[in-house]
Amino acid sequence: MGEDAAILAETIAVAEDSCTCKSLLDSRPMESTVHDFGNVMELLRSRGLRMTPQRRAIVAEVMRTQGHISPTTIARKVQGEMPGVNASTVYRTLTLLEEVGVLQHSHLETGAEYHRSEEAQHIHLTCARCGRDDELSLIEANALSDLIARHHGFAADLTHFAITGLCEQCAEATLAAGAIGA
Ligand SMILES: [Zn+2]
Ligand SMILES: [Zn+2]
Ligand SMILES: [Zn+2]
C-alpha cells in the first residue's frame, strides 16, 4: 500500500468506525422522498423493527434536527431526555435510518455526520485549522465533475468526503504569519 493510500485508509477508519459507505454505494436510493416522523416510523416498522421508546426518541430527535446531524450531539440530547439510552443504540439507529434511505453520511474534518437524504446533495469544504464548514452546490462543482469524468469515465461522488483546506480567514492568517516569519 502506498503512503497516500495508507493515510487515506487511516483517515477513513478514524472518521467513522462503522462506515457503511461501501455497502450503501450500490443501494443508495435515487428518489428523494421528504420524510417526516410518521412515515419514518412506518418505514422502520415495515422492516420488522420493534419501535421501542428509545428508538422513537432517537427518530424524533433526528427529525427535529436542522442541517448536519452529528451522532454525538444526537446521543447527548437523547440521553438528556431519556437517561440510560446507550450511545451504541443511537449509532445503530442512525445506521438503520441510512439503510432505509432517510439519512446519508458525509465525512467532515470533525468526523462523520449525517444529513437528511433530500438535503445531502452538496460538497463540503472544511477548514483543517478552525474546523469551519462551507458548502458548494453540485451545480457550482459541475466543471470539476466533468474534469474527473473525462479521466477514464470516473463518476465521482463529491458529496461523500469533504474537501479539506483552509478557509479564507485561516489562509490569510497563515499568509500573514509567513510574511512576519520571513
Ligand atoms: Zn462513508
Ligand atoms: Zn452538509
Ligand atoms: Zn479556518
For residue 123, give the ligand nearest its CA.
2
Give yes or no for a contact between 15 and 8, defined as CB atoms under 8 angstroms apart. no
Give yes or no for a contact between 97 and 136, defined as CB atoms under 8 angstroms apart. no
**pLDDT at 90 exceeding the cut of 90:** yes
What's the CA-to-centroid distance between 22 and ligand 1, angstroms? 7
Residue 41 CB burial class (10 angstroms; 0-12, 13-18, ≥19):
middle
Q: Enumerate residues 6+ apart whose C-beta is below 8 A from 68.
A: 108, 113, 114, 115, 133
What is the mean predicted confidence (pLDDT) over 31-46? Answer: 83
Cα–Cα distance for residue pair 12/8, rounded to 1 Å: 6
**pLDDT at 32 exceeding the cut of 80:** no
Residue 14 phi, psi dihedral angles, 5° rounding: -70, -40
Cα–Cα distance for residue pair 59/62, rounded to 1 Å: 5
The answer as to CATH 3.30.1490.190 being correct for domain 121-182 is yes
Ion ligand 3, residue ranges at CB < 5 A: 127, 129-130, 132, 167, 170
Q: Which of 3-7, 24-28, 103-107 has the highest mean pLDDT?
A: 103-107
Q: Where in the chain is the domain with CATH 3.30.1490.190?
A: 121-182
Give yes or no for a contact between 96 and 44, defined as CB atoms under 8 angstroms apart. yes
For residue 166, give the ligand nearest its CA.
3
What's the CA-to-centroid distance between 146 and ligand 3, angstroms? 28
CATH fold of 1-120 reads Arc Repressor Mutant, subunit A (1.10.10)
Query: What is the value of pTM for the model shown?
Result: 0.76
Q: Where in the chain is the domain with CATH 1.10.10.10?
A: 1-120
Tell the residue number behind the cell numbers 440530547, with chain if given.
77
Report which of residues 51 and 181 the model is more confident about: 51
